[in-house]
Amino acid sequence: MNEPLRLLLIDDHPLLRRGLSELLGASPAFCVVGSAADGEEGLALALALRPHLVVLDLHMRGMGGLATIAQLRCRLPECLVVVLTASDAREDLLAALRAGADGYLLKDGDPEHLLASLQNCCRGQLQLAPQLATLLAGEPVDAPRTPQAVELTARERQTLALIAEGLSNKLIARELGISDGTVKIHVKHLLSKLNLHSRLEVAAWAHRGGLRSGMAGER
């Protein structure tokens, strides 16, 4: 039997923290190891407890969600970070993804969907609230408009297709039979060539251009 995943909550609303702790703690998939009321306290707990996953609000008093994500990415790069927020604003979504969030979910979502999304995130799949997908559909100002407008190597195209399927670097490496480090290089090149900032923006670009379905047979 797999051990439950260690999870840390960061949110400045005590009732919500308690409700989430009870909901997630009741699932055999998770063990809530701590909770914090702001980013500064949450970062200190994360460094001490080394959780697998941090679920945090975006707008909090003191150190906010974006600054906390940046610190977690720098100091605990292997820790997954999922934003759970009331904001469905496109600028907040893009800012969180560019800061390095592994998912962006809304607080008014279904509890079962939250549990499933967090488990999928821990399996290496980027997670986004379904109703937010259209927020990524707008074309980035400087991004190529079609797959034909950018020159990608065969391996970059394969990597792009797997990012569009929501796979993590580790799963992409396993699928393609290459190292994690090589995948990171391909992802870096993709972000540069497409002039994008996050994996979810890359996935949205691939879906818009029909690149994902067109590459299914290349792997």
Split at pLDDT 50, 70, 90, the class of 21 is very high
* CA–CA separation, 42 and 155 (whole Å): 39
Burial of 162 (0-12, 13-18, 19+ CB in 10 A): buried
Mean pLDDT of 48-75: 94
Check whether residue 108 and residue 173 sit in a common domain: no
pLDDT at 217 over 50: no
Mean pLDDT of 86-100: 87
Q: What is the pLDDT of residue 214?
A: 43
Cβ neighbours of residue 135 closer than 8 Å, sequence gap 6 or more = 88, 90, 93, 94
Check whether residue 72 and residue 93 sit in a common domain: yes
Question: Is 161 within 8 Å of 215 (Cβ atoms)?
Answer: yes
Q: What is the pLDDT of residue 136?
A: 64
Quickly list H helices, 50-194.
65-75, 90-99, 111-122, 154-164, 169-176, 180-194
- The domain total for the chain is 2
pLDDT tens digits for 126-151? Answer: 788 877 766 665 545 455 555 556 78
Split at pLDDT 50, 70, 90, the class of 196 is confident
Residue 30 lies in a domain: yes
Arithmetic mean of pLDDT over the chain:
84
For the record, the structure tokens of 90 come out as 């496109």
Split at pLDDT 50, 70, 90, the class of 37 is very high
Percent of the chain surpassing pLDDT 90: 45
Q: What is the pLDDT of residue 22?
A: 95
Handedness of CA 213, 215, 218, 219 (dihedral sign): negative
Check whether residue 172 and residue 76 sit in a common domain: no
Residue 60 lies in a domain: yes
Q: Supply the range of the domain harboring residue 34.
A: 5-136
Check whether residue 66 and residue 116 sit in a common domain: yes
pTM greater than 0.85: no
User: What is the domain-level CATH number for residue 180?
Assistant: 1.10.10.10
pLDDT tens digits for 184-193? Answer: 888 888 888 8
pLDDT at 106 over 80: yes
Nearest to 121 by CA among 184, 67, 171, 49: 171
pLDDT tens digits for 146-184? Answer: 555 678 888 998 998 888 887 878 889 999 999 988 988
CA-to-CA dists, residue 156 to 172, 177, 199, 215, angstroms = 11, 14, 13, 11
Q: Give the SS3 label for residue 61.
A: coil
Q: What is the pLDDT of residue 212?
A: 45
pLDDT at 55 over 80: yes
CA-to-CA dists, residue 136 to 5, 84, 129, 206, angstroms = 30, 18, 11, 11
Check whether residue 159 and residue 86 sit in a common domain: no
Nearest to 160 by CA among 134, 128, 187: 187
